[in-house]
């Protein structure tokens, strides 16, 4: 008998769908499996104001397949100049769900990010007051910090103190990548939660660098050690409410991935649910997949879970290598492209 699993429709609490032709090409893959997604604001130029977010949301809605009930949740790209009044207006009007911190130069399209953490305190105070969630690319990019320690140093230097300074503010440490991150989130739940990507659950830096350089495994925060991977797998599959699904699916034109100065991020939306199901099965925790994918996220955001369901079946399929993008970007690589996956979403 084919193994089959029906769960409430999941949400993706960390997603990049970009803009223009790329948006049109990638959004249907997410809309096919997920009810909602937190859309990252690192466009060029970024989504910095309520007006930017209204315009971006319209472009996203226009790119959805006909009849789709998918709901985009918009975020504000925090800068040194973000206006707390605009944030509050956008939140109260139902435009913004959350604010996103990119430390300047921490990752793809983050150059407009925060350079001076003293300047964002009024925004954090306002978010604490109005009950708005604060999402963080939690890495300390001081050049003296080793890239594998960036998440742990960010927690020590910034996030830890902020949790005490703003006790009523709810945080999400995005794309957890280290045992230190996992432990900090657990110790500070329910004030702090964390999202976990498919690739941080699957890979180690040996997979990425040990058998030839795999550009499609280059993501920020970088893939770390087996010790970190084990901590992430235990956390995700524990069902604990502080850990939930965020794919960090981040498509790029293939030329930017396969370049002398390659760009971090990979498109994984088509395979994300298949990868999560594989990991949960390997950990003997398929019964916890629904909590991770569909229940814990809405709870942290104070939203109801989706009413609809999806079904997954153990039925092998081969992941396409890439998707075509009309225009100069041409194509984007897909995570696990060309490989055979055991699980697939059969009904959504
Ligand atoms: C993301 C992107 O490409 O926008 N890249 C990545 O490696 N994850 C940005 C991010 O979330 O860091
Ligand atoms: Zn991201």
- 245-255: pLDDT as tens digits: 999 999 999 99
CA dist 275 and 194 (Å) reads 18
pLDDT score at 348: 82
- What's the CA-to-centroid distance between 1 and ligand 2, angstroms? 38
* Average pLDDT over all residues of the chain: 97
Set 85, 248, 287, 329: catalytic member: 248
Question: What is the per-residue pLDDT across 43-60, written as a single tens digit (0 to 9) for each?
Answer: 999 999 999 999 999 999
- What's the CA-to-centroid distance between 14 and ligand 2, angstroms? 6
pLDDT score at 51: 98
52 is catalytic: no
- What's the CA-to-centroid distance between 250 and ligand 1, angstroms? 6
Task: Say yes or no: CB of residue 109 within 6 Å of ligand 1.
Answer: yes
Whether 296 and 246 have beta carbons less than 8 Å apart is answered as no
Tell me the mean pLDDT in the region 278-298: 98
Task: Say yes or no: CB of residue 223 within 6 Å of ligand 1.
Answer: no
Q: Which residue has the least CA distance to atom 3 on ligand 1?
A: 265
Question: What is the per-residue pLDDT across 225-247, written as a single tens digit (0 to 9) for each?
Answer: 999 999 999 999 999 999 999 99
**Backbone angle region of 344, left / alpha / beta, with phi > 0 → left and psi within -120 to 50 → alpha:** beta
Q: At what angle do helices 179-187 and 226-236 cross, to 10 degrees?
A: 30
Beta bridge partners of 99: 76, 134
Which listed ligand is nearest to 247 at the C-alpha?
2
CA dist 14 and 248 (Å) reads 5
Whether 53 and 294 have beta carbons less than 8 Å apart is answered as no
Instruction: Say which residues have a Cβ less than 8 Å from residue 346's Cβ, sequence separation at least 6.
Output: 4, 311, 312, 313, 315
Instruction: Say which residues have a Cβ less than 8 Å from residue 121's Cβ, sequence separation at least 6.
Output: none
Tell me the mean pLDDT in the region 16-42: 98
Atom from ligand 1 closest to the CA of residue 251: 3
Task: Say yes or no: CB of residue 268 within 6 Å of ligand 1.
Answer: no
Q: Which residue has the least CA distance to atom 9 on ligand 1?
A: 108
């Amino acid at each position: 008998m084919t193994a089959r699993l029906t769960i409430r429709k999941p949400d993706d609490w960390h997603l990049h769908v970009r803009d223009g032709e790329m948006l049109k090409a990638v959004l249907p893959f997410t809309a096919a499996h997920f009810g909602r997604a937190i859309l990252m604001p690192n466009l060029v130029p970024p989504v910095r104001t309520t007006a930017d977010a209204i315009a971006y949301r319209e472009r996203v809605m226009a790119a959805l397949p006909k009849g789709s009930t998918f709901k985009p949740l918009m975020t504000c790209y925090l800068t040194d100049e973000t206006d707390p009044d605009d944030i509050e207006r956008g939140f109260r009007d139902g435009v913004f769900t959350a604010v996103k911190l990119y430390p300047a130069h921490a990752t793809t399209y983050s150059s407009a990010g925060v350079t001076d953490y003293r300047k964002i305190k009024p925004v954090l105070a306002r978010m604490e007051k109005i009950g708005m969630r604060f999402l963080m690319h939690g890495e300390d990019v001081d050049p003296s910090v080793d890239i594998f320690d960036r998440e742990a140093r960010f927690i020590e230097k910034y996030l830890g103190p902020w949790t005490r300074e703003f006790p009523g503010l709810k945080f999400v440490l995005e794309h957890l990548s280290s045992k230190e991150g996992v432990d900090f989130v657990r110790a500070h739940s329910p004030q702090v939660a964390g999202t976990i990507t498919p690739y941080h659950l699957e890979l180690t830096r040996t997979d990425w660098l040990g058998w030839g350089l795999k550009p499609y495994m280059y993501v920020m925060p970088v893939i770390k050690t087996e010790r970190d991977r084990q901590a992430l797998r235990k956390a995700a599959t524990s069902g604990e409410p502080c850990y939930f699904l965020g794919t960090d699916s981040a498509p790029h034109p293939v030329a930017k991935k396969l370049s002398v100065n390659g760009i971090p991020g990979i498109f994984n939306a088509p395979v994300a649910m298949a990868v999560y199901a594989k990991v949960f099965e390997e950990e003997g925790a398929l019964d916890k997949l629904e909590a991770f994918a569909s229940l814990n996220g809405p709870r942290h955001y104070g939203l109801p879970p989706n009413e609809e369901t999806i079904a997954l079946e153990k039925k092998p399929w081969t992941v396409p290598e890439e998707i075509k993008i009309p225009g100069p970007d041409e194509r984007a690589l897909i995570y696990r492209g060309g490989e055979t996956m055991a699980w697939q979403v059969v009904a959504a």
